[in-house]
Structure 1
Amino acid sequence: MSEQNHENRPPLPEKSSQVQVFLVDDDSFIRESLSVVLGLDADIHVTGTASHGTEALACLESGILADVILMDIRMPVCDGVEGTRLIKTRFPDIQVLMLTTFDDDEYIIQAIQNGASGYLLKNVPPARIVQGIKTVHNGDMLIHPDVARKLAGLLRTPASPPVNEPLKTYGLTRAELSVAEAISEGLSNKEIAAKLFLSEGTVKNYVTEILSKLNLRDRTQIAIFMLKK
């Protein structure tokens, strides 16, 4: 009897292979437009939307799933910078991709320091946003090239130690340092592998070693560490 009951049980639902995306923007038209555009990609499923950071956090705490949060920076009540901090503190495994029309130095730095995995400007084509979501979901950083150059200039100071200092202080090999520098430029593992003539598996191993030696949590922290050098 027990075997028959077991056979009659409905199968457990398979875990979705789609990227679960949650949208946060105070403009309802943008939320709806992004939901439609992202929904056209078979690999992405939009699980919900919110109009500001604290509302997004409440949705996540209520059980709404998200692998990646697409977050505007300037919003009333709770902006994207603070929203990123709140969400990354409560849900560190969720990736946050900032999307904004504002090319604002202070907001860019604060968002990344709070744990954002990437930053795109809203004037990029929809296909670029889709690819950006998939990039940060895979664990890579995504920073608009103009923003990456600006970050480097803002975080570096005349008193910064020489670029080889991480080799002496933290024991990074030259290969690991090259990978870390490439991460600070916003390159993905695939791009780093092509640039340094390595396999993606080797790059992943180097990233693991860098995180361990520098006692950092993720690629975002590696980028900030290197940009401050």
Structure 2
Amino acid sequence: MKIKVIIADDNSFIREGLKIILSTYEEFEVLDTVNDGKEALHYCLKHQVDIALLDVRMPNMNGVEATKLITAQTNTKVIILTTFDDEEYILDAIKNGAKGYLLKNNDPEQIRDAMKSVFKGNSIIQDLILEKIKSNLLPEKKAATKINLTPFTEREREIMSLIAKGYSNKAISKQLYISEGTVANYITNILSKTGLEHRTQIAIYYLTGKVN
């Protein structure tokens, strides 16, 4: 079964280029390309779409606004694919339900792997984006938003720290000498305690002290 994809970008050259690239991979079926977030939302409401690749800055409705509506009203998973690494966009997109935030300068294989991972239920935020949040947002917020570690066990704190550093579950299991299943159980506990929905939000929470 192929992963059904739509691409939303107001630059026709980029969206058609992405369509050509993704169509070369047997895993994907590019259903359509659209010009903005509003068109992406309407398409997802009418069709079964597995993944929507959305740019951030688009006319009529931007990618962040579209993410919120698409994730609230459909089962489509949203990945932001953009040239903009502004921390405000990143945090708003994640808060609104985006399962991934990638820059367009990634190799096609990296974008493909990220899409496959999101389709399987994972969340993807590339190291460069996490580093930007660490360097720009955390120092600014640190005094007012220090994370409260009291509700978490020592192991949960370790895992949150490693997630914030960009470690995968497999890498965490090797680092802490525990099974991937045990890591997943700890992450489930962390999500339950924080009210968050996925591991990318855990990284944002750990770095900023903010749940929303």
Letter in 2 for 1:66: V
Task: Report the secondary structure of 2:171's partner residue.
Answer: helix
In 2, Cα distance between the equivalents of 1:102 and 1:82? 15
Answer yes or no: is 1:114 the counterpart of 2:99. no
- Structure 2 match to 1:46: 30
Residue 57 of structure 1, aligned match among 41, 46, 55: 41
Greater C-alpha Rg: 1
- Structure 2 match to 1:152: 134
Answer yes or no: is 1:74 the counterpart of 2:57. yes
Judge conservation of contact 2:82–2:102 (CA < 8 Å) in 1.
yes
Q: Once the 2 structures are TM-superposed, how far is the Cα of residue 28 of structure 1 from its aligned partner?
A: 1.9
Q: Once the 2 structures are TM-superposed, how far is the Cα of residue 115 of structure 1 from its aligned partner?
A: 1.8
Judge conservation of contact 1:142–1:186 (CA < 8 Å) in 2.
no
Judge conservation of contact 1:141–1:187 (CA < 8 Å) in 2.
no
Judge conservation of contact 1:142–1:187 (CA < 8 Å) in 2.
no
In 2, Cα distance between the equivalents of 1:22 and 1:194? 36
In 1, Cα distance between the equivalents of 2:207 and 2:76? 23
Letter in 1 for 2:159: V
Q: Once the 2 structures are TM-superposed, how far is the Cα of residue 135 of structure 1 from its aligned partner?
A: 2.1
- Structure 1 match to 2:155: 175
Judge conservation of contact 1:141–1:183 (CA < 8 Å) in 2.
no
In 1, Cα distance between the equivalents of 2:100 and 2:21? 19
Letter in 2 for 1:191: A
Q: Once the 2 structures are TM-superposed, how far is the Cα of residue 90 of structure 1 from its aligned partner?
A: 1.4
- Structure 2 match to 1:12: none
- Structure 2 match to 1:6: none
User: In structure 2, do the counterparts of structure 1 residues 47 and 203 end up closer, same or farther at CA, with 3 Å as the change threshold?
Assistant: farther
Q: Once the 2 structures are TM-superposed, how far is the Cα of residue 47 of structure 1 from its aligned partner?
A: 2.4
Structure 1 window deviating more from structure 2 (93-102 vs 181-190): it is 181-190
TM-score, normalization: structure 1? 0.81
User: In structure 2, do the counterparts of structure 1 residues 150 and 54 end up closer, same or farther at CA, with 3 Å as the change threshold?
Assistant: same
Q: Which runs of 5+ in 1 are unaligned?
A: 1-15
In 1, Cα distance between the equivalents of 2:124 and 2:132? 14
Judge conservation of contact 2:123–2:198 (CA < 8 Å) in 1.
no
User: In structure 2, do the counterparts of structure 1 residues 47 and 23 end up closer, same or farther at CA, with 3 Å as the change threshold?
Assistant: same
TM-score, normalization: structure 2? 0.86
Identity of aligned residues (%): 43
Residue 181 of structure 2, aligned match among 201, 214, 219: 201
Residue 195 of structure 2, aligned match among 185, 210, 215: 215
In 2, Cα distance between the equivalents of 1:87 and 1:126? 25
Answer yes or no: is 1:129 the counterpart of 2:128. no
Letter in 2 for 1:80: G
Letter in 2 for 1:37: I
Q: Which runs of 5+ in 2 are unaligned?
A: none
